[in-house]
Each structure stands twice: as C-alpha cells, then as structure tokens.
C-alpha cells in the first residue's frame, strides 16, 4: 500500500493546510530504511527530543567545502505537525542548490510555519524541534571539523559559571534518568567547582522531572 | 461513509429516541412547574420518564435527579455530598484513572474548601486494590468515589466489593457509571451504591442530559440554586424533551443489552486479536476480561498517536488517542501513565470504541489499512523501542 496515494474520503475533515497534509503523506528527504544511507557520507548528524516527550528528531547533513548543505535527510517520531515541519525544513535547506550553514542556523520555527501555510496555534510547538535538530547537526559538523568556537548552544543559559554547564545539559541529564542532584552531578560535573549554582540546579532538576516524568 | 470507532466520546442519537423527543419541542412545550394544562402535560411526561428510569435502576422516582450532563451529576454528587456532610468528616477516597470530572472536582475542593482526598493507585490493568482502599479509610472518611468503567481503557472495577467495604465502614459510595450504563448492570440494589452518575450521550440518547441517583437518606447540598426543581437539588426549568429521550435511550439499552453486548464482545476481540497478531510491537491496555464490551485500547510502539489518527482519518476511520498532541493540556493520558506505562507508550496509544453501527466489515476495513499505516509511520520514526522496555 502506498500511503501517499490516499485521497481524503471527504474534503472537509482535514485539520491542517494542504501543504502540511502533503508533507505528512509525502515527506521529502526522509530516511526510510536503516540501510538506506551510509552514515559516513554525512558530516553533520544531530538528534534532539525523546519519545517520552512525544517528539524525537534525527537529522543527517551533507555539507560541502563551501559550507553549503547539499543533502538533508531526517527521521521523526511525532505528530503530523512535527513530521511535516521536519520535511519542509529539509526542503528549505536543500532547495536552490543548498543553503549556506550560516543562513541555515538562522532558520526559525516561524519560517517553517510560513512555508507550511500555517499550523494550528496549539500545534505550533510541534515545529520547534526540527530546527533544533538541524542546529544540533550543524554543531556536530563544527565539532568534526575542529571549529568548536563556531558552535552555538542557543537558548541555553549557563548555570555553572566555572565549567560552563547549561540548563540544557541538566535537561539532558534528567532525560537520561538522573533524578537526583547527585546523579546529575555525576553525569555533568555541575556544581563541583561552582558551588553557588547548586540551589538553581536543584530547582531545574525538579522542573525537568515534573515536565518529563510528572 | 465513516467508520466511527469513537463511541466512548459520544454516540449518535437512536432514531427511536429522536422520535420520542420530537413532540416535546414545539407541541408539548410546557413548563412542568406551571399550574395549567400545558404545564401538567409536560409534568406527566417528566414523571413517566422518571418512573421508567427508576424501574431500570430499581429505585424510587424520588431518588433520581436530572442534570445537564454526566459531569454535572458528578459535581453535584461530590461537592453536594462533601458540603452537606462536613460535620461527619473531611476526607474522601477516589483513584487515579477517574475522569477529569471527578479529578478536577476533587482538586477544586482540596484547594478551595480544604478537603482531604486520597487518590488510590491502580494495578497494571487499571483495577484498584481493595485492601489498599480499606487501608486508606480513616475516621474522617465520608465518601468513596470510584468509576464503574474507565472511559479510556475500559477497565471495569469491582463495584459490588467496593460497596461492601464502604457499607462495612459506614461510608457512602458514589460511582461514575457514564461509560458503563449501556453495557453493565445498573441495578442500584444489586450494586449497593448510594450515588450514581449517568448521562445520555454515551447510550444513544441526547447530549446535555444526565442524572444522579441519590439513595434515600443521602444528604446533599445543591450546587445550582434557584426555583427548587428536582427536589431542591437542581434548580432550572426541566429539559423535558431530553428527559424523555434519556428515558427512552435507557429503556432501549436495557432491552437490547444482552444481545448487543455479545455482538460487541465478539467484534472487540476480533479487532484486538487481529491487531496484536498482525502488527508487531503492540499490546492491549486495560484488563483482558474485566473490560467494557466495546473498548479496545492498543499501544503501537515507536509511533505517535496523533499521526496514526490522522492517517486513519484519511481512510474515514475515526478513533481517539492518548497522545499529548491530541489533548488540550499537551500531556499524555493520565490513565495510561497510571497503569504504569512510560510516556512513550501513552503517546502511541489508540482507543477504538465500538457501537451499534459497528460491523465486521468496518473492523475488516480497519484491519486492512492499519498495518500499512503503522509500518509507514515506523519508517518515518527514528525510535526503536522494544516490548521488553514496556515490561511486556
């Protein structure tokens, strides 16, 4: 069965725009099978989210010498909005011979949303993970090419001022199962040198635990 | 033509119900509180309906309070009882997989009126443990509220045994029977309950009508004040056409229950067995046998429920999901979490609820398209969980 051939049984019941629907049923640049791509051909790989939060995205990038994205492949665990957003993102960064990574890093969820002709307001948050995964993949490219100074940890706030540990690091640690301050410290080394941050770290752990594990 | 597998959300109104209601809109429009012949005819229709329902529930007509919904009945039962019995105690017991109507009412009373509430855990099938219930009872406990059958996973609680425990400790017992009424025994004498909430919209009656059974001697305070209708417990002009329709719907449900329940169980098990056999990495949520005849709740690993629902919707199949993406709160189903499954299992759970118009052909159509939908979404997904991760 080719799911992409499905025609709506009536034309009134769809919740999303035609563009969202199109990208949901016919996603572009999707990695369909495990053996479909050779990981070694890709020089920027990023993954964000987790199935526990309802969304997880993986992005594989092929970036050439001119720092242009030649290929953007992906996979996504998520709702229709998340799948369509990631598909559209992969189109945006590869169309017209590819986008410079400088420009790709500036893509905002709003840009994807616009190209999808709009997601319903309460689904907008579902489009946020795609560009995060893209940036994670670009950061991975910087890491591989020894340009660590160009890595952008965006949106992250430094909590431990000595070891430069961010709230995102703490979020990741909690998602990995560290549910006490001691366990988070084991994983991240947070608060070992900068003791002043400990109360804030404890607060963040409570926040993320509540957020992800109720 | 849609294949509607969302009967736990609501049902269509039975044609016979619609017909019974018809004349009470414009022909017999009276207010039963009016002392004139038009009003009297309306009152007679209401009394007859109350009589009909009282026979089905095996109670007296005076023990039935009509309300505007199942949610309102539950609010009246819990708020009304707690407020009227403050002098006896300040503690009630409920459980974690209740409908929001119960949970949010309890949260409200905790926050605003200082009520103490115990939320019992459930086991992996969604059943409360009777010994735990008994352990939580204190001198302060005045009410136990445990749903008859769960709206998401269909688990049917041991209502009779719970009521035995309540009787032993002289505590009143309320049950939310909204999902159960069309399929299970709702004879209040058999069940031994004090308060029971029902509504019309789950049993092929109209939406916007509910009732609360209040056993004689159970003290309640009204939550809606006004002209003193419904024995002073629910003011507001009675909704005659809906009351008539509700009575008719209950009457039909009782009469046709035995045959329909057997038919639905067969269809339900056909659906469950085929899905679990033909689609890998799936499992049933809820109790294998103590479950509603029309409920199949299945988790599909590695895929997200909203995406499955929208794909099915394209084929004209309507179901619902415990996924966060389909809820207003953006949290996944509290019921799936309460039976001990991780978040990722809640996101991939789909509820199929069958009903009168469900046929084997409809289920066959679902079974034909579902494997392809799941296979496709698994190709899109980077996640690869195993049944072992879920303790299955």
Do the Cβ atoms of A3 and B382 come within 8 Å?
A: no
Tens of pLDDT, residues B239-290 = 999 999 999 999 999 999 999 999 999 999 999 999 999 999 999 999 999 9
Domain boundary among A116, A150, A184: A150
Residue A2 counted as domain residue: no
Tens of pLDDT, residues A116-127 = 988 776 666 667
User: How many percent of chain B have pLDDT more than 70?
Assistant: 98
Confidence of residue A48 (pLDDT cuts 50, 70, 90): confident
Domain boundary among A150, A170, A189: A150
pLDDT of residue B330: 54
Confidence of residue A37 (pLDDT cuts 50, 70, 90): confident
Do the Cβ atoms of A51 and B316 come within 8 Å?
A: no
pLDDT of residue A108: 79
pLDDT of residue B239: 98
Residue A140 counted as domain residue: yes
Clarify whether residues A100 and A137 are in a common domain. Answer: yes
Tens of pLDDT, residues A49-90 = 777 767 888 999 999 999 999 999 999 988 888 899 999 999
CB-based contact B270:B365 (threshold 8 Å): no
Site from B321, B380, B385 to mutate, A interface, most A CB atoms within 10 angstroms? B380
In chain B, the domains with their CATH numbers are 3-8+257-383 (3.90.1150.10), 15-253 (3.40.640.10)
Read off the tokens for A126.
């579902």
- B237 or A35, which is more confident: B237
Residue A31 counted as domain residue: yes
Domain boundary among A110, A130, A150: A150
Cα(A84)–Cα(A74) distance, integer angstroms: 11
Any idea which of A119-128, B75-84, B167-176 has the lowest mean pLDDT? A119-128
CATH of the domain at A182: 1.10.10.1100
Cα(A130)–Cα(A83) distance, integer angstroms: 9
* Chains A, B: CB pairs < 8 Å: 93
Catalytic-labelled residue, pool A72, A76, A126, A197: A126
Clarify whether residues A131 and A71 are in a common domain. Answer: yes
Do the Cβ atoms of B307 and A25 come within 8 Å?
A: no
* Residue in A72, A76, A94 with CA at minimum distance from that of residue A85: A76
pLDDT of residue A3: 42
Clarify whether residues A63 and A137 are in a common domain. Answer: yes
Q: Is pLDDT at B304 greater than 80 in this prediction?
A: yes
User: Which residue reads 């098990």 in tokens?
Assistant: B269
**Which residue in A16, A47, A77 is closest to B302 by CB distance?**
A77
Q: Which residue of A has its CA nearest to B305?
A: A79
Clarify whether residues A51 and A141 are in a common domain. Answer: yes
Helix (H/G/I), strand (E/B), else coil: B177: coil
Residue A9 counted as domain residue: no
Q: Is the ipTM of this complex over 0.90?
A: no
Site from A53, A77, A123, A175 to mutate, B interface, most B CB atoms within 10 angstroms? A77
Clarify whether residues A102 and A162 are in a common domain. Answer: no
B226: left (phi over 0), alpha (psi -120 to 50) or beta: left
Clarify whether residues A96 and A187 are in a common domain. Answer: no
pLDDT of residue A10: 45
**Averaged pLDDT of chain B:** 95
Tens of pLDDT, residues B193-228 = 999 999 999 999 999 999 999 999 999 999 999 999
Read off the tokens for B331.
């949290």
pLDDT of residue B273: 98
Clarify whether residues A136 and A202 are in a common domain. Answer: no
Domain interval for residue A94: 15-150
- B350 or A185, which is more confident: B350
Clarify whether residues A183 and A121 are in a common domain. Answer: no
Mean pLDDT of B49-66: 98
pLDDT of residue A196: 84
Do the Cβ atoms of B307 and A24 come within 8 Å?
A: yes
- State yes or no: is A126 an active-site residue: yes
pLDDT of residue A5: 37
**Which residue in A3, A58, A123 is closest to B373 by CB distance?**
A3
Residue A4 counted as domain residue: no
Tens of pLDDT, residues B352-370 = 999 999 999 999 999 999 9
Clarify whether residues A131 and A163 are in a common domain. Answer: no
Q: Which residues of B touch A209 (CB under 8 A)?
A: none
Residue A29 counted as domain residue: yes
Mean pLDDT of B340-351: 89
pLDDT of residue A44: 94
Q: Is pLDDT at B55 greater than 50 in this prediction?
A: yes
CATH of the domain at A49: 3.90.1010.10
Q: Which residues of A touch B307 (CB under 8 A)?
A: 24, 78-80, 83
DSSP letters for B322-386: --GGGSSSSPPPHHHHHTT--HHHHHTEEEEE--TT--HHHHHHHHHHHHHHHHHHHHH------
pLDDT of residue A125: 61
Do the Cβ atoms of B304 and A126 come within 8 Å?
A: no
pLDDT of residue B281: 96
* Residue in B389, B327, B122 with CA at minimum distance from that of residue A50: B389
Q: Is pLDDT at A106 greater than 60 in this prediction?
A: yes
Clarify whether residues A119 and A57 are in a common domain. Answer: yes
Burial of B192 (0-12, 13-18, 19+ CB in 10 A): middle
User: Which residue reads 């046929």 in tokens?
Assistant: B359
Clarify whether residues A163 and A91 are in a common domain. Answer: no
Confidence of residue A162 (pLDDT cuts 50, 70, 90): confident
Cα(B318)–Cα(B351) distance, integer angstroms: 10
Residue A126 counted as domain residue: yes
Cβ count within 10 A of residue B329? 8
**Averaged pLDDT of chain A:** 82
Q: Count structural domains, chain A.
A: 2
Clarify whether residues A174 and A140 are in a common domain. Answer: no
Residue A38 counted as domain residue: yes
pLDDT of residue A6: 39
């Amino acid at each position: 069965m080719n799911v992409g051939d499905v025609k709506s049984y009536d034309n009134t019941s769809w919740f999303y725009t035609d563009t969202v629907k199109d990208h949901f049923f016919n996603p572009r640049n999707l990695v369909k099978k495990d053996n479909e791509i050779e990981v070694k051909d890709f020089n920027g790989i990023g993954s964000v989210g987790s199935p526990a939060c309802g969304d997880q995205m993986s992005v594989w990038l092929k970036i050439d010498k001119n720092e242009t994205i030649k290929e953007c492949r992906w996979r996504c665990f998520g709702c229709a909005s998340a799948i369509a957003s990631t598909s559209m993102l992969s189109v945006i960064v590869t169309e017209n011979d590819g986008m410079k990574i400088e420009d790709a890093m500036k893509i905002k969820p709003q840009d994807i949303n616009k190209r999808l002709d709009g997601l319903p307001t309460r689904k907008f948050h579902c489009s946020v993970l795609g560009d995060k995964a893209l940036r994670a993949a670009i950061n991975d490219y910087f890491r591989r090419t020894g340009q660590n100074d160009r890595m952008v940890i965006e949106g992250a706030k430094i909590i431990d001022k000595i070891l430069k540990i961010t709230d995102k690091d703490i979020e990741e640690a909690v998602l990995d199962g560290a549910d006490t301050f001691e366990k988070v410290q084991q994983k991240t080394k947070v608060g070992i040198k900068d003791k002043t941050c400990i109360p804030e770290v404890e607060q963040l752990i409570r926040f993320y635990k509540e957020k992800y594990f109720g | 033509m849609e294949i509607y597998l969302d009967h736990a959300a609501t049902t269509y109104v039975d044609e016979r119900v619609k017909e019974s209601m018809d004349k009470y809109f414009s022909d017999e429009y009276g207010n039963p509180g009016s002392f004139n012949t038009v009003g009297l005819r309306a009152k007679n229709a209401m009394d007859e309906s109350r009589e009909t329902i009282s026979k089905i529930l095996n109670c007296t007509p005076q023990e039935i309070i009509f309300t505007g919904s199942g949610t309102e009945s539950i609010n009246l039962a819990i708020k009304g009882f707690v407020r009227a019995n403050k002098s006896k105690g300040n503690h009630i017991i409920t459980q974690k997989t209740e409908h929001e109507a119960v949970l949010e009412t309890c949260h409200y009373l905790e926050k605003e009126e200082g009520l103490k509430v115990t939320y019992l855990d459930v086991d992996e099938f969604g059943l409360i443990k009777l010994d735990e219930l008994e352990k939580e009872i204190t001198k302060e406990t005045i009410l136990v509220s445990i749903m008859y059958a769960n709206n998401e996973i269909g688990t049917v609680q041991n209502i009779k045994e719970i009521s035995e425990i309540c009787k032993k400790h002289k505590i009143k017992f309320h049950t939310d029977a909204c999902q159960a009424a069309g399929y299970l025994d709702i004879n209040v004498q058999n069940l031994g309950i004090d308060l029971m909430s029902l509504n019309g919209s789950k049993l092929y009656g109209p939406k916007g009508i509910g009732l609360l059974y209040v056993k004689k001697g159970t003290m309640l305070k009204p939550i809606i004040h006004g002209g003193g209708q419904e024995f002073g417990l629910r003011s507001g002009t009675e909704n005659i056409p809906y009351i008539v329709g509700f009575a008719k719907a209950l009457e039909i449900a009782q009469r046709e229950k035995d045959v329909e329940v057997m038919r639905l169980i067969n269809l339900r098990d056909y659906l469950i067995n085929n899905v679990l056999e033909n689609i890998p990495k799936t499992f049933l949520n809820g109790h294998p046998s103590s479950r509603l005849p029309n409920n199949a709740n299945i988790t599909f690993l590695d895929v997200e429920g909203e995406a499955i629902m929208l794909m099915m919707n394209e084929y004209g199949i309507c179901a619902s999901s415990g996924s966060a993406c389909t809820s207003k709160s953006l949290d996944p189903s509290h019921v799936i979490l309460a039976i001990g499954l991780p978040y990722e299992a809640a996101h991939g759970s789909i509820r199929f609820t069958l009903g009168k118009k469900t046929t084997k052909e409809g289920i066959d159509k679902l079974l034909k398209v579902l494997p392809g939908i799941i296979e496709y979404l698994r190709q899109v997904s980077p996640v690869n969980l195993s049944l072992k991760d879920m303790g299955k």
